[in-house]
C-alpha cells in the first residue's frame, strides 16, 4: 500500500460504481480516507463494509436539489475537513437530438453540469478557509471534440471543460488546484446507451479502457507537488480513433 495521500480526506461522487468506485479504491490504497457519495444506499452500505473504516458512506441524490445542497454540510458532519472533491457522477445520452425528450435532456444536464457547479460552489468557502484543496471533475474526450452521435452529452462536457478551466484561474490564488480527467470510452453502464454498431466496433477493435485506468490518472494528478497543477488529462484507448 502506498502512502502518498496518507491523512488526506476525499469526497467522491458516483462512488458506488465505475470510475467513482475505482478511484475510491485507488485513493484508499494511497492512504486517503474517502467519503463515498452516491444515491444507492444499499450499495454504499455493502461497499463501505467491504472497504474498511476509511471508506465512509454519504447518501446523496444529486438530482434532488435539497439533497445536493446538503451534501457538503453532511460530509463535514462525518469528517473534519475535505482535502479533495472529485465530482465524478454523470449520465449519458447518445443518438440524434430528436430521438430523445426534454425530460431526459434536463436530467443529464442537471447531473453532468448543474450538480458539478453546485458541488464546487459548496466546497469553495471550506477550501478557501483552509487555503488548500483539490477539485477534480470527470469530463470526457467528448468535451474536447464534437461527437456527432452524442450532441447533448458532448455539449454538457464542453460546458464542464469551460467551467473547470475558469475555476482553475479563479481559485489558484487560494491554494486550490482544479482539473479534470477526460476519458475516452470506459467499460461501464453508461455505454449501454451507445449506438449498437459503435459499441460493437469499439469492443472488436479494443477501443475501450477500464475504470481503473482513469483512476490511475486521477491519483497521479493528486499526488504531484503543490507547485504543479495538471489541469486536464485526456485518457484514451490506444485504438480509439477520434
* Cell 457522477 found at: 89
Which listed residue (86, 92, 153, 163) is catalytic? 153
Please say whether the dihedral angle defined by the alpha carbons of residues 231, 159, 182 and 59, taken in this order, is positive or negative: positive
Longest dimension (CA), the chain: 50
DSSP state of 113: I
Q: Is 86 a catalytic residue?
A: no
User: CA 204, CA 188: separation in Å to the nearest integer?
Assistant: 16
* CA pair distance 118, 65, nearest whole angstrom: 10
The cell 453532468 sits on which residue?
Answer: 112
* Helices 151-171 + 115-130 axis angle, to 10: 10
Burial (CB count <10 Å: 0-12, 13-18, 19+), residue 30: middle
Residue 103: φ, ψ to 5°: -65, -40
Contact 119, 85 (CB under 8 A): yes
Which positions are annotated as active-site residues? 153
Amino acid at each position: 500500500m502506498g502512502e502518498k495521500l496518507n491523512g488526506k480526506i476525499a469526497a467522491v461522487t458516483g462512488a458506488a460504481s465505475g470510475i467513482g468506485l475505482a478511484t475510491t479504491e485507488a485513493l484508499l490504497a494511497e492512504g486517503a480516507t474517502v467519503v463515498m457519495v452516491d444515491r444507492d444506499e444499499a450499495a454504499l452500505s455493502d461497499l463501505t463494509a467491504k472497504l474498511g473504516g476509511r471508506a465512509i458512506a454519504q447518501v446523496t441524490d444529486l438530482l434532488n436539489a435539497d439533497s445536493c445542497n446538503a451534501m457538503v454540510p453532511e460530509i463535514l458532519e462525518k469528517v473534519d475537513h475535505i482535502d479533495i472533491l472529485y465530482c465524478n457522477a454523470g449520465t449519458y445520452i447518445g443518438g440524434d437530438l430528436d430521438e430523445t425528450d426534454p425530460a431526459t435532456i434536463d436530467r443529464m444536464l442537471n447531473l453532468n453540469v448543474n450538480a458539478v457547479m453546485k458541488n464546487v460552489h459548496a466546497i469553495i468557502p471550506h477550501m478557501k478557509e483552509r487555503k488548500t484543496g483539490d477539485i477534480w471533475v470527470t469530463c470526457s474526450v467528448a468535451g474536447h471534440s464534437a461527437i456527432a452521435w452524442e450532441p447533448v452529452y458532448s455539449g454538457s462536457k464542453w460546458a464542464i471543460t469551460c467551467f473547470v478551466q475558469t475555476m482553475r484561474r479563479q481559485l489558484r490564488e487560494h491554494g486550490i488546484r482544479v482539473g479534470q480527467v477526460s476519458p475516452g470510452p470506459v467499460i461501464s453502464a453508461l455505454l449501454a446507451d451507445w449506438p449498437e454498431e459503435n459499441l460493437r466496433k469499439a469492443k472488436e477493435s479494443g477501443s475501450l479502457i477500464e475504470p481503473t485506468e482513469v483512476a490511475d490518472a486521477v491519483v497521479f494528478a493528486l499526488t504531484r507537488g503543490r507547485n504543479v497543477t495538471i489541469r486536464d488529462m485526456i485518457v484514451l484507448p490506444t485504438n480509439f480513433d477520434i
